Amino acid sequence: MITGTGITKTYKQRGNVLGGRDVPALRGIDFTVKKGGAVSFIGESGCGKTTLGRIVAGLETYDSGEIVIDGTPMSPLRPKKRQPHFRKIQLIHQDPYSALNPTRTIHQTLQAPLALRAGRTGRPKSWIDDRAEELLSLVGIDPGYVLGRYPHQLSGGMRQRVVIARALTVDPEMLVADESVSMIDVSMRLSILGLLKDLRERLGVSLLFITHDIATARYIGEDGELYVLYRGQVVERGLTEDVIAGPVHPYTQSLLSAIPVLHGVERPGPDRVVPLEALDERHADAGCLFARRCPFRTERCESESPTLVQGADVSHEHACFHPRRRSVIPVEAVA
Ligand SMILES: Nc1ncnc2c1ncn2[C@@H]1O[C@H](COP(=O)(O)OP(=O)(O)OP(=O)(O)O)[C@@H](O)[C@H]1O
């Protein structure tokens, strides 16, 4: 099980002395990914999704809070001692063009991490090639076709599958897929999503899925949990189906309506969520971070910060002073 408690991260801007601003990317995130579970983080560009994925995979440091992997807190450990723990969490690079070394054949790409693993676990050399073939078959490609080839000789979809096979060389407990940096086309994306779902079922590997698309989050983890991230804070979370069926935070409602417009708007207030770009973030940190875009804000929202609480008549948690079911037009799940 992997948990994060109070994770914060602020990017220091080098131009600070000249008036640049630090960027708070994560403002105290709590999460839990159970063994074999599926958790999706969704939110629009800049909400901190990629930062969170990189922190969870051990590729980025955090300022405060704690990541605990199978009961072991990471921050007291020296970087070298953290490595074996973070190895259980593999980030799947979703840019198939830069994820693989172009000068190595697929055999060489898989052989290197497998040889290390064989050395550590005392397995014979013959295991390395057998395992490479097994992993390629597992991700749905013919080992005979790809092993001797270089990445540029493969299609984008095959490259993406090789990237997943490489992540599996260390028998990870969790795969982190950051779709927001994905460069693959729609049909390929669907087949990769299907593969990840399949791997979760067959290997019991857990998934942390990062996306801006609620339909994808629904597809990848119908039985999983959904976290809605807004400007570095979780504003709503719960079982994916519950959140999608009855979102109570106006931000989640705007995401669900697929366009930044709330349907079934209540009075008073305009029926549009103000676009993020229209805000001057320097003045928007007091009170609820969403208040200035929210058609339902009250005075309280502008001065007090709501924290994540379990709603009285809601099945999941939200950070809103005025949680209410409002009618939205949900997007269809990807079939
Ligand atoms: N290396 C960095 N240096 C400075 N600021 C950064 C850096 N990486 C991210 N940020 C800022 O931190 C915030 C969160 O970025 P992050 O990439 O995590 O968001 P995101 O939700 O993944 O966005 P996207 O979907 O566009 O990738 C943004 O304001 C971004 O500009």
Q: Do the beta carbons of residue 316 and residue 242 sit within 8 Å?
A: yes
Each residue of 253-263: pLDDT tens digit?
A: 888 775 444 44
What DSSP string runs through 80-99? HHHHHHHTTEEEE---TTTS
Q: Which domains are assigned to the chain?
A: 1-88+172-245 (3.40.50.300), 103-168 (no CATH), 246-318 (no CATH)
Give the distance (Å) from ligand 1 centre to CA of residue 260: 21
ipTM of the assembly? 0.95
Percent of the chain with pLDDT over 90: 58
Cβ–ligand 1 contact at 291 (below 6 Å): no
Q: State which of 7, 21, 23 you would mutate to test the pocket of ligand 1, scoring each by most atoms of that ligand within 8 A of its C-beta.
A: 23
Q: State which of 22, 26, 49 you would mutate to test the pocket of ligand 1, scoring each by most atoms of that ligand within 8 A of its C-beta.
A: 49
pTM of the model: 0.88
Closest CA to 94 of 146, 50, 61: 50
**Residue, of 333 and 316, whose pLDDT is higher:** 316
Burial of 301 (0-12, 13-18, 19+ CB in 10 A): buried
Backbone phi, then psi, for 4, in 5-degree steps?
-125, 135
Each residue of 150-172: pLDDT tens digit?
A: 999 998 889 999 999 999 999 99
